[in-house]
Each structure stands twice: as C-alpha cells, then as structure tokens.
Structure 1
C-alpha cells in the first residue's frame, strides 16, 4: 500500500535545511560573522565554549535590527540583502539566501539582543527549536549580540557526529582567520573558554598578516598588483623557499569572499612554474575582484563554490600577476637548460685491467663537469651496508632470505646515491636514501613499541611561529608527541619551541624541516592521538622521509 503524500511542518523543513547550511559549530560562526560584516561592523568579538558545542556568541557594533526585522529574520528566506531574482546577478554582500538564522534557531537554543542607533531600547528574543519563547525590550548598545547554545540539542544524531573540541575549535579559528584577512578594516577577537585565540586589530592587510601569522611571513611577502579592465588581482605572495607541505596557507578571496576554486589554484601553480616542487604549496594571500555579474556565488548553500563566466581570463591574469611579482623579486622562472648537468656514463668491465688502462688515459686535469659520476669499487665482495651512512654500518640485518645477499659483487656507485651491484638474480640497484629511510623506520618503530624512544635534546631549540589554528592543534597533541620522541614547548602566543627529536633523526634540524614537521603533525592528529597499529601510522613514514640522508 502506497503512503500518502503529506506536507512537512515548518520545524521539520527547517531541520532539513539546517543540514545543508549548518554542518558544525564553525558553520554557525561563519553565518553569524558574515551577517555582522554585512551590518557594517567595525569590531566583531566571537566567544566560544567547548569548541562551539556548548555555546557560540558573536557580538558586533553594526547597524543592528529594528524589533520587527529581528522577529522576521528567524524565518526562512527573509533577508535584507536582496529584493528579487535580478539581484542574484549582482550580489555585493556575503549573505543573501535568508536561510542562516532560520537554520540555526531550528537546531539550537538562541538568544538575540539587537538595537539600532535610532532606537531608545533594543529587543531581546529567546528562541528554542525555531519557536520564540521570550520577546521583550532591553537596554543594549548599538549592534547585535547572538548567543547559540547546545547546537543540535534536538537532533541527537547530528550532535553525536561532532568531532573533538580541539578539532571543532580548529575549524572555527581557521574560518575567523579567513574572515579577518578578507576584512582588514574590521577588528576581530576570538576567544575559547575565556582564552584569547586570535586578535586581529583593524589596519591594512600586512598588519593583519603580521598579527595572525607573525613577522617572519609578513617580511617574506611580495606584493602583487595587476589590473585588466574591470578585473584586478592584488595581495601578497611569498618566494618558493617558503612553500609548505600542506595547502593550508593558500588564502584566496573573490570579491571579499573566501573561496576554494580550482581555476585560481591551477593559475597560482602555473604562475610559480617549476620553482615550487611537486606536492609543495606556496603561501599566498590573493584577492581577486571582478564585476559581480561575472561570478556566480549561488552554486551551493555554503557559498564556498563559485563559477566564473570567463575562466580563461581569470586564469591568465592571476598566472601573469604571480610570475611578474616573482621575477621583480629577482627570481628567474622557467630557465632554459642549455645542456645536461651530468654526462651519461657507462659501467663496463668494472674492476678489470682494461678499465684500469682506460682510467689511466683520462686527462690529468678533469673539470667537475667531465668527472665520471660513479665510484669504482676494487674489492669484489663487499657487504652492502658498508655503503650506507656510517652510523648504520653495524645494524644487524635479520630479515629472512637476506643472508644470501649479505655478500654481493659491488660494481659501483652512481652520483653518490645509487649502488650498482651484481647478485645471483642479476643486476641490483640500491637507492641509499631509500635504504637509509627503511632502516631508520624499522629502528624507530621498534623503539616506539618498546616505549623507549631515544631522544636527542637540541642544543639550540627551534622556534616556530604558528597561525592560530595550527597552534591549537599542536598544543592539543603536545603530550602525545612525547611518545614519539618529540618535546614541544609552548613559548608565547602562537609560538612553540622544538626542544628534542628522536635521536635516530640526527642531532639538529633546519627551520624548514621544522615547518614540515608541523605540517605533518597537524594533518595526522587522529593517528597521533589514537592508539593504532604502528605499521599503519603513515605520519611516521612521512617524518622519517624528511630526516633521511
């Protein structure tokens, strides 16, 4: 028997809609802060409790709302940003769909206090599950304060899938960072459980970058500024040597809106060319402005996705702007290779008299470019571990089946990297770097299993300035990292000291390696915190790889 078609009630409709707009506490922060920006605020304060799961409070000094508008704003498809369908082709505000507040009040306990400059008193609304339970006048300053408590209190399935407090506050912090960068004329303050997490005072863009990311990145910034008709790209990029292992430092804004866009990302990559290695990403703060009717921001309820009417023009302008900025800084891109750096070599009759006679015929004075790129091993029988770094020569090789490979005929070493040898099976090529990495990995895993990781105290601790979202992550796993031999100490606001590393990784580390370590840690938080099988810990392999010879 078929079921009858019924019309859903208002609360159910809003709960379904909330599933698209409100995914987590960071979604609440996004929607409320964007409303504050659209309300012409000059100061915005965000107070978070327990990663936003307990409460999210946003306070601004914007234009506020009249009592009638405040009551109407909690209904779906009510907005002050647009009036009709034609306005969708010329959107100048961050919000416009009229869904945010309706979605929030349907799945949380919400309190709104707002007042305009012209009003003597403000209005105080209390809403639970989409219904107004209290409506009264209140004394309040100009602006709006919205408090959202117990998110998903009436949708327990959604609440169950919220992540840990540290994960949720990380998402919130990163989004507030993007909003602050997009609006340097507004002062932003973010607190978590009463502690200041991010403070971005009102000023120019470079001042915001300094406040959020520290002076090192601010000093490394190179300006970009290029305009073509009504299209313009401005902001800052950094030289390739400041590239990171993660994409977290790609900040892209289109008409003041933080976006993730494949066209722009590919244009940035093309602009840097081969200067940035594969799987590394530059630090950029890129602002692209174009006529509102040439970009569609109404693709998805979260407004993260956008479409351009002329993608080729966008791509070309951004690529050219980045390349020109790098070239002005003295960096030569796409250099033409006149000839190969190393001439090909042939290993024939190694160790024979004929080779010795050929060797004697070589000129007495050989230029570095003409010198052979391989070493001749005179002894016929050598243990392969003899050619690994000195500290690993005495490693006991106990793997099954390796016994017959302990003695092999070494033919030579190419470019101080590859060992060429002959075995019973045929030609054997060994990458010393990979071999060293494998040996260190196995030694490190054994130490972790025995809970006896050998630690090397750094004579000069490495100081690393983190952006606020990174700082929250690293601070949350500080104790967990000790299990793996890393001692990290919080040192001032958004700054840490790396005091020790596993001794298997050496006696010191470079600053760039320290940054890569941070990127690896923050992208593998769950692995570091949870007790997984050691063989499944991908981050251990990543760490070993950056310390290998």
Structure 2
C-alpha cells in the first residue's frame, strides 16, 4: 500500500498558520504594532482604510532592519527574540514565534520599507501571497514602514466572514488602545480613512488613560500602588459611582502585555464587594510586574492568557491592594482607630495646672421686677399642686378681627363645580366585573377567562407593548418628543461615539433630539415621551453595550435592536405596584399587539391555567 502522508507546500502551510494568527484586520494591527515596539520605536503611526480591509500601514522610527533581516523576517519560525527553548521562560519582548509576518504575507499584498540609522540607503520589498515580487534599494528615513493591502485577497471565504466596517474598526481600536495604554512613553497616532482618531503624545500612565478615554476620566481614577517580592502593582481603579454595565474599561497588563484573566478579575470584584450596584462593572487599569520566569505566556495563540506560578498569592495581594486604595482615598468606608493629633495636650501645658473658673452671682437680680401683673379670669391647677396663671386671649384675638370680616364675604360667594373629565389613562370608568385583574407579588397580573385563569408577567408584557411602539415609530418616523428645560450633556469615549453616530438616525425617529455632537460628548434637548430624563444615560449605555460587539449589517436589524433595547430598559420592572386601572390598560395593550404571546426576546408573556388543571391540583 502506498504512503498517504505528505509534507504540505510552504504557501499552504502559511495559509493554515494565518488562520490562527490573522483572524481579522485587528490581528494584523496587533502584530505590526508589537513589532514596532520591539524595534525600540518612540513614534508609531497607524494608518487604516476601510477598517483594515483595504489598507493597514504601520510606520515607526525604530532601529530598522538590514537587507538579510528584511528577507528572513517573512520566513516561518524566523525570529530574533529566542535562541533556545529556555528563552521562552525569560521573554522581555512582544513577538517571538516568528510566524506573524509569514502568515500576513501569505494572505495579503505586503510592502516593506526599512532603513537602519547607520546605513545611507534602505530597502523596499514587495510580496504578494508569499511570493517575492521585487526587492530594491531606496532612499528612506530611519525606521520601518510595513504596508498590508487587500487582506484575504486569495481567501475570499475568509474575507466574506468579516463583519461590518464599524465592528472591524472597533476591534482595531481595541488593539490600538491596549498597546497604547501599555506604553505611554511612545507617541501613537491612529488615522482612519484620512481622519485622525487618536493623537497620543508621550506622557505618563494617567495622562495616557485620560487622552484615550476622554477628559472626564481623570476624576474617576483612584491610584493603586503595591510593591512585594511576588508582584509590583501600579495603576488606577475607577470609583464605584462611575461603574458601567459593560466591561470595556477593564485592563490588565503583565510586564507591559495586555492579558485577560477571569481569576484576577474576580479579585477586583471582591475588593468592590458591597460598593457596586447589581450588574455594574468597575473600571480598572492595572499594571503588574512579575519575574519573567514565573509566568508562561505561550499557552494561547493570541498571547492574551498567562499562566502564573502562584495565582493564589497574586489574587490575595491584588485584592488587598485595591481594597486598601479604595479605603485610603475615602471611596470605601473604613475603620480608623487613629486619634486626632489636634486633640492632644500641647507640650508647654503638660505640667501646668488648670485654672478654676470664677462664678459670680447677682443676688439682687429679679427677672419679674419689670413685668406688669397679668389679670386672669381663671386659675388652673398643675400636677405639682401649684396654681398656674392662664393668659387671656385679648391680645391674640385682635389679630383676627379683619380676617373674620373677610371670611364672611368669602362665605357669601358661590363657585361653579368643575367636573374632571381627563385622567392619566384615557379609558372609560372601569366597572367591577368577575374578570377584574389582580397583581401578585408586584410581578404577575392574574385575570379570569372563560376556560380558567390567565397569568401575565408584567415586565415581559410591557416589553412587547413598548417594542412594537418603538419599532413602529422608527419605521414610520412619527414619534413624538418632550422638550427638556435644560439640555442633557452626556460624555462617551471615542469608541462609543463612533457607535452613537451610527445610531443617531434611528434614535431621532424614536423621539430623541440631538443639538450637538462632539468628539467626546453629545447634547440632547428632546427625549421620547415614554422615557424619563433620569433614564436617558442608562438607556444609551445599555443601547451601546447591547450593540457594541454585534452591530447588525442591515438597517432593519439595527432598528430592531434599538427597539428591543429601549423596550427592555423602559419597561415596568418587577416589584412595581400597578393600580387596577394600570393593570387593565396593560392587559388590553398586550392583546392589541401583533404577537402578544412572546416578549421581544422570545420569552412567554403569559400562561393559561384551565379549570381542569386547577382541579388536578386539588384531586386526591
């Protein structure tokens, strides 16, 4: 029998490796930015077109490469970071596998321009699908320019799986933020479709966080600092009152490398125990320095997960340091047994005796000497057995003389009775019938029907009613708005502002009125009638969180998502008391819907219990 196992060609192996390394344009951005940092660059510029599908270019002023290194960097398993297997446990750089550039060159058109400082001329290399097209000598500035065009041009199936431009650009911005936050001393610039999204000059950690997330971020940060033999912790955590529903502002950096760790996240949540509302997530930007030999960063292809030698000790140190910072800056309540030094006796008065105050009494003082005796018509006997004088009413009765005359005139007037014709709910007077509704535990509405009993979930039923109203308003563009006396000013990050700008046309159809849209804030002067002013910021936050990771491709799906999120946020909550009139209006509105059986999230809105079902419960 002939052999069936054979070696794969290099271009096929590179394409398979590219499936692990390059999942989307953001993966290319991450690899190129990390290479620029390893090249000791102090100024890195990222240029993107069409969310990376058309162009990704990273320009740095690093040490550059020689002609030999420029050719070898595109070969598989070629790296300058490691020489032996032991080097994997003593890494101080980002990229070390030697597969990134080979994988990128296998699925895109690549142009590399590089020049070392001591060389007069640089080198220009063009590669298309792992094939070297040309190599030339060129006049170039110091550093490296890596240009990637037409990503997945030879794998159309992978290209079709890419999401919309908004989603892909969000992933690129996520990778850019992670790298920029880890290296505040490097000047970073991000340009997308000709417009500058980020311009981050060299700064410290706090300034870099504020420059990325917005100017209002500075007042939210609480510094954290701890130095032990196991780990050195620095960075910032957010105040509990600024917690959000999303986890978009949570960053762990271990030796300047962004990681994800549910175990360490649990330590942070334990430190915030009792300080957060249910469902809220705190913000944190924590930088951990550990000895390289105590971690293993080669357990995941994307290098975002790390295995620690002593996780339990790290958990305890991280939890206590965050809890200490929250208490030290009066964010969390603490027990403080230190006495106030201002209450201590001064040293000069230590042996000095205290002065006895002098008491002087005026024996001739009589408080009743200048008062005139008051004549009383009767005396009252007190509980102590003494007679107490009762003042007459002549003095205060004179104050009401004119008022009595005015009162007689008012009594002679007659007023027409005014009949109240309106009510909050526009409906006729409810008659008490056998089918009246009842509320149970401020959660369910019960009503009798011909075949038995109807039990309605008030929250899910209201979601269905509001969902169809919002979706109708968005589609027909006839929603009514209520004007605000004072416009609302809400602040968001640049990443969230990109998503809000996509949602504004649909939000305006629901009743929102936007007066101004800036880089990091929006001004709202009108809101839908069914929404309270205090709910606007919560609603927009939930709307952003719900659509942030999965922006729909079609406009209808986008409108549907907005209507669902708004209905879920505004619907009457469990635990809310409803009057009998409100219960009946909700029931009538539910069964007037096109699909009253399920909520917008496909949960049942009501159940029915027949008389037979009830009889079975009582059967012996």
What TM-score comes out, normalization by structure 1 length? 0.80
Runs of 4+ in 1 over 6 A off after TM superposition: 395-398, 419-438, 546-549
What CA deviation, in whole Å up to 9, does each residue of 1:415-451 have, x standing for no partner? xxx4999977999999988887676556445545654
Aligned to 1:519: 545
Deviation of the 1:313 alpha carbon = 1.2
Distance 1:475 1:536 in 2: 13
Matches within 5 A, 1:143-182: 143-182=143-182
Distance 1:429 1:334 in 2: 47
Aligned to 1:471: 497
Deviation of the 1:516 alpha carbon = 4.3
Is the 1:456–1:507 contact (alpha carbons within 8 Å) kept by the matching residues of 2? no
Aligned to 2:286: 286
Distance 1:224 1:328 in 2: 10
SS at match of 1:275: coil
Is the 2:214–2:494 contact (alpha carbons within 8 Å) kept by the matching residues of 1? no
Distance 1:322 1:395 in 2: 56
Q: Does 1:461 pair with 2:493?
A: no
Aligned to 1:452: 478
Aligned to 1:483: 509
Is the 1:474–1:521 contact (alpha carbons within 8 Å) kept by the matching residues of 2? no
Aligned to 1:16: 16
What CA deviation, in whole Å up to 9, does each residue of 1:61-81 have, x standing for no partner? 111111111110011111111
Distance 1:256 1:403 in 2: 71
Deviation of the 1:300 alpha carbon = 1.6
Q: Does 1:394 pair with 2:432?
A: no
Distance 2:2 2:527 in 1: 66
Aligned to 1:506: 532
Aligned to 2:302: 302
Q: Does 1:48 pair with 2:33?
A: no
What CA deviation, in whole Å up to 9, does each residue of 1:333-381 have, x standing for no partner? 699xxxxxxxxxxxxxxxxxxxxxxxxxxxxxxxxxxxxxxxxxxxxxx
| Gap change, CA 1:494 and 1:6, over 3 Å in 2 | same
What CA deviation, in whole Å up to 9, does each residue of 1:150-185 have, x standing for no partner? 000011111111111111111111110111111000
Matches within 5 A, 1:87-236: 87-236=87-236
SS at match of 1:526: coil
| Gap change, CA 1:13 and 1:56, over 3 Å in 2 | same
SS at match of 2:501: helix
More divergent stretch after superposition (459-468 vs 86-95): 459-468
| Gap change, CA 1:512 and 1:162, over 3 Å in 2 | closer
SS at match of 1:313: helix
Distance 1:397 1:159 in 2: 62
Aligned to 2:265: 265
| Gap change, CA 1:212 and 1:66, over 3 Å in 2 | same
Distance 1:167 1:446 in 2: 27
Deviation of the 1:520 alpha carbon = 4.0
Q: How much is the aligned-residue C-alpha RMSD, in angstroms?
A: 3.4
What CA deviation, in whole Å up to 9, does each residue of 1:172-220 have, x standing for no partner? 1111011111100001110111001112111001111121112211122
Distance 1:277 1:405 in 2: 40
Q: Which has the larger radius of gyration?
A: 2
SS at match of 2:272: helix
Deviation of the 1:22 alpha carbon = 0.2
Is the 2:164–2:551 contact (alpha carbons within 8 Å) kept by the matching residues of 1? no
Distance 1:443 1:397 in 2: 25
More divergent stretch after superposition (121-130 vs 272-281): 272-281
Distance 1:236 1:271 in 2: 14
Distance 1:153 1:403 in 2: 71
Aligned to 1:248: 248
| Gap change, CA 1:420 and 1:492, over 3 Å in 2 | closer
Aligned to 1:364: none
Matches within 5 A, 1:38-77: 38-77=38-77
Distance 2:128 2:314 in 1: 45
Distance 2:562 2:504 in 1: 21
Distance 1:317 1:107 in 2: 45
What CA deviation, in whole Å up to 9, does each residue of 1:505-525 have, x standing for no partner? 135656555544443453563
Distance 1:293 1:396 in 2: 77
Task: Name which of 515, 518, 522 aligns with 1:492.
Answer: 518
Aligned to 2:396: none
| Gap change, CA 1:57 and 1:129, over 3 Å in 2 | same
Q: How many residue pairs get matched?
A: 486
Deviation of the 1:534 alpha carbon = 5.0
| Gap change, CA 1:12 and 1:326, over 3 Å in 2 | same
Aligned to 1:365: none
SS at match of 1:96: coil
Aligned to 2:78: 78
Is the 1:464–1:515 contact (alpha carbons within 8 Å) kept by the matching residues of 2? no
Is the 1:244–1:519 contact (alpha carbons within 8 Å) kept by the matching residues of 2? no
What CA deviation, in whole Å up to 9, does each residue of 1:310-332 have, x standing for no partner? 11011111111111111112233
